[in-house]
Amino acid sequence: MQPDQDTRDTATPPPVIALRNVSKRFPGVLALDNCQFDLAAGEVHALMGENGAGKSTLMKILSGVYQRDSGEILIEGRAVEIDGPRAAQALGIGIIHQELNLMNHLSAAQNIFIGREPKKRMGLFIDEEKLNRQASAIFARMRLDLDPRTPVGELTVARQQMVEIAKALSFDSRVLIMDEPTAALNNAEIAELFRIIRDLQQQGVGIVYISHKMDELRQIADRVTVMRDGRYIATVPMQDTPMDTIISMMVGRQLDGGQGVAPDTSANDVVLEVRGLSRGRAIREVGFKLRRGEILGFAGLMGAGRTEVARAIFGADPIDAGEILIHGKRALIGSPADAV
């Protein structure tokens, strides 16, 4: 008879983080209802759901921004209390928000170690040399060619995001939460971000990846957890699950598989026309026509000017040049009240 095999070395380790039966209520709203989520070391775990599904609320609880009403948070199997962002950082949990939190007039290194700068012997002055050396070490870990002395305001949005990641890593983060990290990046910048994510995986960092971009998730995610209306729906392997299945879990119904055909509106009356719209450097010579019964979409990266165009048309911001025509007649829109 063979002796029992010792399985201690092959036992599956507990998740680096686990949220169990977490609920959160705001006045009049049950934002989270007995939700769960876990993340393994070296895993990219996507968190998906429609707007209002509860994704951000769940991650804000994990990062200490909100406090849960019930449930538990476990770090490597041990129950913990996260009563604020500093407590989350101390536990190795970092978050990179979609809206970057950097100071443009400071250097990359100064942003990374803000409030934690190394001091010289007397403790009165910042040791800039050591500061830059520490930042360079983090950039080397990320395989990122970036001068730590560069003012953040001179960096592209993609490079600023890398500084945010470096800032999180400076706290020895074992968990990184990335909220729509590619929203403002082009394809080349996305490829560089994915390289850094894969390098961090190899170093054992677990990554929570919040995104609506299905094609990206196929490339980078190991598993996906779906939420809907503040509830946990399911966790499935990314590569083995059809996208239609994931979308059906998100919306709560089966997709019919049909593709709508846009109606031909080319002969319809023009109800809104914009000509040569300009405002400073944000908007330059923008023009378009909108016809009756038509849906006109504006696409572009963050900072491309989409919101600025809409605000100018609505009268929220003044324009330097151009004209707006409604039903063929020039409209003088100086305020939102005029637009309405």
Q: In this structure, what token pair is assigned to residue 247?
A: 């979308």
Q: pLDDT grade, residue 258 (50/70/90)?
A: low
**Comparing 258 with 36, which gets the higher pLDDT?**
36
Q: Residue 312: which domain range?
A: 270-339
| Residue that is written with structure tokens 């944000």 in the block | 282
Question: Quick one: 201 and 71 in the same domain?
Answer: yes
At residue 117, what is the residue type? Answer: E
136 and 68 in contact (C-beta within 8 Å)? no
| CATH number (domain holding residue 54) | 3.40.50.300
Question: Quick one: 48 and 142 in the same domain?
Answer: yes
CA-based nearest residue to 151, from 103, 107, 101: 107
pLDDT confidence of residue 316: 86
Q: pLDDT grade, residue 25 (50/70/90)?
A: very high
pLDDT confidence of residue 260: 65
pLDDT confidence of residue 302: 60
Question: Quick one: 102 and 158 in the same domain?
Answer: yes
Please give the mean pLDDT across all residues of the chain: 88
- 113-172 pLDDT, tens digit each: 998 888 887 777 889 999 999 999 999 988 889 999 999 999 988 899 889 899 988 988
CA-based nearest residue to 251, from 51, 21, 58, 57: 51
Euclidean distance between CA atoms 145 and 243, whole angstroms: 36
Question: Quick one: 191 and 297 in the same domain?
Answer: no
Question: Quick one: 23 and 70 in the same domain?
Answer: yes
pLDDT confidence of residue 6: 46
Question: Quick one: 159 and 282 in the same domain?
Answer: no
Question: Quick one: 26 and 97 in the same domain?
Answer: yes
pLDDT confidence of residue 7: 42
CA-based nearest residue to 335, from 310, 322, 318: 318
Over residues 70-94, mean pLDDT: 94
Question: Quick one: 108 and 246 in the same domain?
Answer: yes
Q: Does 78 map to a domain?
A: yes
Q: Does 262 map to a domain?
A: no
Percent of the chain, pLDDT > 70?
94
Cβ-count burial 174-190 (b if 16+ within 10 Å, e if not): bbbbbbbbbebbeeebb
Number of domains in the chain: 2
* Strand-strand pairing, 17-26 and 329-331: unpaired
The sign of the torsion formed by the CA atoms of 106, 109, 110, 113 equals: positive
Residue 148's φ and ψ, nearest 5 degrees, are -65, -15
Look at 65-69, 75-79, 336-340 and tell me which has the smallest mean pLDDT.
336-340
Question: Quick one: 192 and 127 in the same domain?
Answer: yes
Q: Does 136 map to a domain?
A: yes
- 84-105 pLDDT, tens digit each: 999 999 999 998 887 788 999 9
Q: In this structure, what token pair is assigned to residue 190?
A: 């996305």
Q: Does 151 map to a domain?
A: yes
pLDDT confidence of residue 8: 42
Percent of the chain, pLDDT > 90?
50
Q: Which element (helix H / strand E) includes 218?
A: helix 214-220
- 188-243 pLDDT, tens digit each: 888 888 999 999 999 999 999 999 888 889 999 999 999 999 999 999 999 999 98
- Which domain-ending residue is among 222, 251, 280? 251
* Partners of 107 in the β-ladder: 151
| Residue that is written with structure tokens 């705001």 in the block | 26
Strands (E), the chain: 17-26, 29-39, 44-48, 70-75, 78-80, 93-96, 175-179, 206-210, 223-228, 231-237, 270-279, 283-291, 321-326, 329-331
